A and B are shown apart, each in its own frame.
Chain A
Amino acid sequence: EAGVAQSPRYKIIEKRQSVAFWCNPISGHATLYWYQQILGQGPKLLIQFQNNGVVDDSQLPKDRFSAERLKGVDSTLKIQPAKLEDSAVYLCASSQTQGSYEQYFGPGTRLTVT
């Protein structure tokens, strides 16, 4: 089975610019998560989708971050405008249904904001 796909793998932008990341979960996985991992820390959840609905976005900085999963399959995470502290790896993960504990992670997108 194909894993979680993410693109781009790397991105360098200047502060105040915008950027978008894309994630395609494992086929059939209803739940999709976006995590932010700052260097030297554990991943932190930004937003969780169940199909195309938001389950948890309590830690998403909504003044600059947005995410969507319009058709309940792939998802896009956007940052506008970016700040220096947004430099991190953005990990997408998916799981089969809300009844499944195991989450499968994509390779991540490493964002550097200069």
Chain B
Amino acid sequence: GENVEQHPSTLSVQEGDSAVIKCTYSDSASNYFPWYKQELGKRPQLIIDIRSNVGEKKDQRIAVTLNKTAKHFSLHITETQPEDSAVYFCAPIRAAGNKLTFGGGTRVLVKP
């Protein structure tokens, strides 16, 4: 099965700084790469995703970059704000409808 790892496991940044989380995966057939944000006590919510035929995607302050050769993709958050504090999960997937295999999560704390 898919082996998914995230680094770092915790990340503390000052408000306004950038945060980067890296996700490595083992299944070379993975072709969809989402990032989920989970606030304390709430459900995971999709914040950005990328398909395998695209190297980078940006949505306001968040972006995802993909390196299929090296089998990793990263979440970039710029100009961090306190409301960005949450746990972020990557969950690469091989095909539509398949189960999500979540990484262990990265706890991000944005200090005001």
* A102 vs B97: C-alpha distance when bound (angstroms): 8
Closest Cβ neighbor of A45 among chain B residues: B99
B25 within 8 A of A: no
User: Which residues on the B side are within 8 Å of A31 (C-beta)?
Assistant: 97
Closest Cβ neighbor of B45 among chain A residues: A105
User: Which residues on the B side are within 8 Å of A42 (C-beta)?
Assistant: 89, 91, 102-105
Closest Cβ neighbor of B4 among chain A residues: A42
Q: How many residues of B contact A (CB 8 A)?
A: 20
User: Which residues on the A side are within 8 Å of B102 (C-beta)?
Assistant: 42-44
> A43 to B44, Cβ gap below 8 A?
yes
Q: Tally inter-chain residue pairs, CB-CB below 8 A.
A: 54
Closest Cβ neighbor of B33 among chain A residues: A101
A101-B34, A105-B44, A106-B43 are contacts. A41–B99 as well, Cβ < 8 Å?
A: no
The 0/1 profile, CB within 8 Å of A marked 1, for residues 15-33 of chain B is 0000000000000000010
Closest Cβ neighbor of B100 among chain A residues: A103
A41-B105, A42-B105 are contacts. A91–B43 as well, Cβ < 8 Å?
A: yes
Q: Whole-angstrom distance from the CB of B64 to the nearest CB of chain A? A: 14
Q: Is the interface of B mostly helix, strand, loop or mixed?
A: loop
Closest Cβ neighbor of B32 among chain A residues: A101
> A101 to B93, Cβ gap below 8 A?
yes
A98-B96, A98-B97 are contacts. A41–B104 as well, Cβ < 8 Å?
A: yes
> A43 to B97, Cβ gap below 8 A?
no
18 sample A-B contacts, Cβ–Cβ < 8 Å, listed by A number: A31-B97, A35-B100, A41-B105, A42-B91, A43-B89, A44-B102, A48-B99, A56-B99, A91-B44, A98-B96, A98-B97, A100-B97, A101-B49, A102-B34, A102-B49, A105-B43, A106-B43, A107-B42
User: Which residues on the B side are within 8 Å of A33 (C-beta)?
Assistant: 99-100
* A97 vs B96: C-alpha distance when bound (angstroms): 8
* A108 vs B99: C-alpha distance when bound (angstroms): 17
Q: Lowest 3 A-B CB distances belong to which pairs?
A: A42-B102, A98-B97, A105-B43
